[in-house]
A and B are shown apart, each in its own frame.
Chain A
Amino acid sequence: MLKIENLHASIGEKEILKGINLTVNPGEVHAIMGPNGSGKSTLASVLAGREDYEVTSGSVTYRDMDLLELSPEERAREGVFLAFQYPIEIPGVTTINFLKTAINEIRKHRGEEALDAVSFLKRMKEKSKLVEIDQSLLSRSLNEGFSGGEKKRNEIFQMAMLEPRLAILDETDSGLDIDALRIVANGVNLLKTPNNATIVVTHYQRLLDYIVPDFVHVLWNGKIIKSGTKELALELEEKGYDWVKAEAALV
């Protein structure tokens, strides 16, 4: 589904991603871990199409397309979804309001008919239950006055509504208490199918108690320096990152 090869990306003069290689297949959950500042959010942003970053070399192939050639909205319509690390507030734009437009843009792109109001509301009801988000929040200005947990749940709610093929969760766990974490993780797990894939970017292992990854990668200094299975996450939790860095330095 996704194949990242030797990806380099910079912001201004500064190179942040220094040769990322990663392959994600349908049905898989990948966790990307690493110390602060290693480039995790940058990777997520580059995949979603944020224009602040310049890709200097390498390629990203997504479902046989050159992902880097697509605009952010084309990526979304092809099924890429980014749950933001810091979901912004947009005064005057309600979640319902832009999601309705978004869903229908995506459906149009796929040659499907627009969702009528009744089906939209039905889907909304169903999905808001899934992530335990109060429906009244959805007709308020996006994230305005929302708590940290509500903002993150709103991201997962949008993901549930848009049914992406590839979901990228950027530090969705940061700032969440254990209840909110469980709700968010539960939402992600319920949305898992053999046809979609998830990349979970996280700083801590605790989210991975709830969302069990098939693969764990350690990103450091713009490169993936170690990959493994869920046991690697536990080992990192116990021993920190220094041993991985030391190992990488030897190679």
Chain B
Amino acid sequence: MKTNPQLEDLKLSLLAQIQSVSKEKSTIFLEEADQLHFPNSKNEEWKYSSFSVSKDTNYTLRTGQGKAMASIHAEAFEGCHLLVFLDGAFTESLSSTEVLKGLTIKKINHLETFTSAYENNIFNQLNGSTAHLSGLSIQVNEKAIIEKPIVIFHCNSYTESAAWVQPRIQVQVGERAEVTFAEIWQSDGAQPVVTNAVQEIDVKKSAIVKWFSLEKGNKDSSLINQTRVETAEKAVFQHLVVSLGEGFIRNNLEIKINSTEADAHMYGLSIGSAKLHVDHHTFINHKAVNTTSNQLYKSIFSGKATGVFNGKILVDQVAQKTNAYQSSKNILLSTDAKVYAKPQLEIFADDVKCSHGATIGQLDEEPIFYLRSRGLDEATAKQMLVQAFASEILMKVENKSLHALFEAEIMAEMERLVSK
């Protein structure tokens, strides 16, 4: 494979840096990473999303040790527990772990990783190679009901050069436990940052897990998330991601529904008025009878924002009575904004209800006329319709504290959208 020389240099530099901080612990990952390359657009999975880094920039691998920042406004997360990843590593001193009853939190020392559909993937191997330095393992006890959401706040303090960070989170939620997580990604834009993150979530029998993610990029930030989930019998897993701002965002979300009567819900809302690139690759594997998955990904783009939605549903032969729904709805407010949507269905069972659809277009004229005919001016009518479009996703953020947080960010982004 032909590779971009700049990315090849970056790879060598990262491998050397990892080697020097991590010693023999990461040998396997490093050896594998050495055989791989950063993807280019010839790679089918990266056709519309070219990963690139800032020119003539050295990326320094950070695995924590950042200086505590004044800019963590804990009050923004009122009503939540707070876990902080500073410069890519879990930082206990900034986190509020003492009040977390029903959970065990520790650093990852031994990495047992889920198999991935994107196995052969350099990001994965790179992240794995520093998991023992920066990772966090969370165990939610059986039957524990964690009332307050657990916010996982990712921030960066390193300003000497561009940074490369690799947070990793492993979560196991015990039988009949209920818990909500919210990852908040923030990059202040002082220096370019690439965040190469992995989340692995193991949802046991009858557990209910909600996982939210608020991704706010800037023009020099790249965020690559690989989220792998496995769910057991009667488990309910909900994933909801809101992507705003600028920069490059790639989310690989893989869910394996391993056992019967389990549900998975996936939602996305992307809003961008400038150079935002958001790529959602979802992969849902139904592996047992009587399971349901439901995907709704929406975007509102103006300026040069671009969205990619690639949703793959695999229904194994044994997975009879599967319900799998997938929908991608996109509003483009400018001629330079683009969306590529592609469903991929592989269905090997015969008793399956499956639907997929994608819409891409401007705001409909009819509702605009309707509202204008009642006295609203055009801009107000459009704003109301765009808000209504977004509200279908925002509505799913039921927790009050999180709802307020997400709503404020979405509204602010929306204002930038219509003021352009």
Contacts and interface: CB of A to CB of B under 8 A. Distances in A.
Interface of A: 48-51, 71-73, 75-77, 81-82, 84, 87-88, 90-93, 97-99, 101-103, 105-106, 109, 141, 158, 162
Given A88-B366, A101-B380, A82 B373 contact: yes
Interface stretch (B16-24, B62-70, B112-120, B387-395): B387-395
Nearest to A86: B366
B2 interface: no
Interface in B371-394: 371-378, 380, 384-385, 387-389, 391-392
19 contacts: A48-B373, A49-B372, A50-B369, A71-B378, A73-B375, A73-B377, A73-B378, A76-B375, A84-B370, A87-B370, A90-B388, A92-B387, A93-B384, A98-B374, A102-B375, A105-B375, A105-B376, A105-B377, A158-B374
A92 B375 contact: no
B367 interface: yes
A92 B369 CA distance: 16
A97 B384 contact: yes
Contacts of A81: 373
Interface residues of B, number: 20
B375 A77 contact: yes
Interface in B275-324: none
Contacts of B367: 88, 90, 93
Interface of A is mostly: helix
Contacts of A93: 367, 371, 384-385, 388
A92 B373 contact: no
B369 A72 contact: yes
Nearest to B367: A90
Contacts of B380: 101, 105
Contacts of B372: 49, 71-73, 76
A190 B257 CA distance: 60
Contacts of B375: 73, 76-77, 101-103, 105-106, 109, 162
A162 B373 contact: no
Question: Which residue among B366, B372, B391 has the maximum number of chain A CB atoms within 10 Å of its CB?
Answer: B372
Contacts of B377: 71, 73, 105
Interface of B is mostly: helix
6 closest A-B pairs by beta carbon, nearest first, are A92-B388, A76-B375, A72-B372, A102-B374, A102-B375, A105-B375
A225 B376 CA distance: 36
A71 B373 CA distance: 9
Given A91-B392, A92-B391, A99 B374 contact: yes
A246 to B, nearest CB: 37
A56 to B, nearest CB: 21
Contacts of A109: 375
Interface in B353-372: 366-367, 369-372
Nearest to B374: A102
Contact of B384 (A101, A106, A141): A101
Given A98-B371, A101-B384, A92 B376 contact: no
Contacts of A73: 372-373, 375-378
B392 to A, nearest CB: 6
Nearest to A161: B374
Contacts of B369: 50-51, 72
A103 B374 CA distance: 8
Contact of A162 (B374, B384, B391): B374
Contacts of B388: 90-93, 141
B342 to A, nearest CB: 25
Given A101-B384, A105-B377, A92 B389 contact: yes
A213 B328 CA distance: 50
Contacts of A82: 373
Contacts of A75: 373
Interface string B214-238: 0000000000000000000000000
Contacts of A87: 370
Given A90-B367, A91-B392, A76 B374 contact: yes
A35 B406 CA distance: 53
Question: Which residue among A82, A92, A162 has the maximum number of chain B CB atoms within 10 Å of its CB?
Answer: A92
Contact of A76 (B373, B378, B387, B392): B373
B376 A90 contact: no
A106 B372 CA distance: 11
B116 to A, nearest CB: 36
A99 B377 CA distance: 13
Nearest to B394: A92
A66 B387 CA distance: 34
Nearest to A75: B373
A49 B285 CA distance: 51
Contacts of B387: 92
A73 B374 CA distance: 7
Nearest to B370: A88
Nearest to A103: B375
Nearest to B390: A92
B374 A90 contact: no
B391 A49 contact: no
Question: Which residue among B377, B378, B387 has the maximum number of chain A CB atoms within 10 Å of its CB?
Answer: B377
A72 to B, nearest CB: 4
B125 to A, nearest CB: 43
Question: Which residue among A76, A87, A109 has the maximum number of chain B CB atoms within 10 Å of its CB?
Answer: A76
Interface in B107-165: none
Given A48-B373, A50-B369, A101-B375, 16 more contacts: A71-B372, A73-B377, A76-B372, A76-B373, A76-B375, A81-B373, A90-B367, A91-B388, A92-B388, A92-B391, A93-B367, A93-B371, A98-B376, A98-B384, A101-B380, A105-B377
Contacts of A50: 369
